[in-house]
Amino acid sequence: MTTPRIEPGGLRELGPINWAVTRVLSTAQGVPDAHVFSTLGRSKGLFRGWLYYSARMMPFGKLSRKDTEMIIIRVAHLRSCDYEMDHHRKLGKRAGLDNAAIGRIIEGPDAGWGDRERSLLLAVDEIVGSHDVTDETWAGLTRHLDEPEQISFVQLVANYDALATTLGVLRVQRDV
């Protein structure tokens, strides 16, 4: 296991607001200390801004919870981000994704999905892989998502891709 570049903080490092938020979020995750929060919480106000921004996509986003978790799990897999995968396997199950569905998400867009799910997964693959989407793939998204959902989709993928980068660069340790 690699040593964290920035250790998770406690009350002193996080300040009372971020510490309290981290405690609540850790409890909701079912872990004693959700390292993503106790590490990023050390950035003070930036942490709270990031939480608000992220919450506008998950869990309070335009896309269904099931679609959202499918997208996040695919990003986590493509980025080999075990931390994201640990949390979003649990959240995905709460949103209605069973182990077989999660396995198919990992397998990818050609794992026997319907047009909607295949279109979403293909677009995730393209955004993570090339930071763009082909016109053909975009047309698939527009068959299933309205304009606000299209924007939300791109922002969701980009947010979790960026979070995977942050977790990796900071060497944030898994909670399990």
Q: Cα(95)–Cα(129) distance, rounded to whole angstroms?
A: 26
Domains of the chain (ranges; CATH) run: 11-55 (no CATH), 65-170 (1.20.1290.10)
pLDDT tens per residue, range 103-144:
999 999 999 999 999 999 999 999 999 999 999 999 999 999
Whole-prediction pTM: 0.95
Tell me the mean pLDDT in the region 55-60: 92
User: Helix, strand or coil for residue 108?
Assistant: coil
Q: For 13-38, what is each residue's pLDDT tens digit? A: 999 999 999 999 999 989 999 999 99
Which one-letter amino acid corresponds to residue 107? E
Report the pLDDT value the prediction gives residue 1, as an integer from 0 to 100. Answer: 63
90 CB-near residues (< 8 Å, 6+ apart): 29, 30
In angstroms, the CA 143 to CA 72 distance is 21
Can you tell me the distance from the alpha carbon of 148 to that of 134, in angstroms, rounded to the nearest whole number?
A: 19
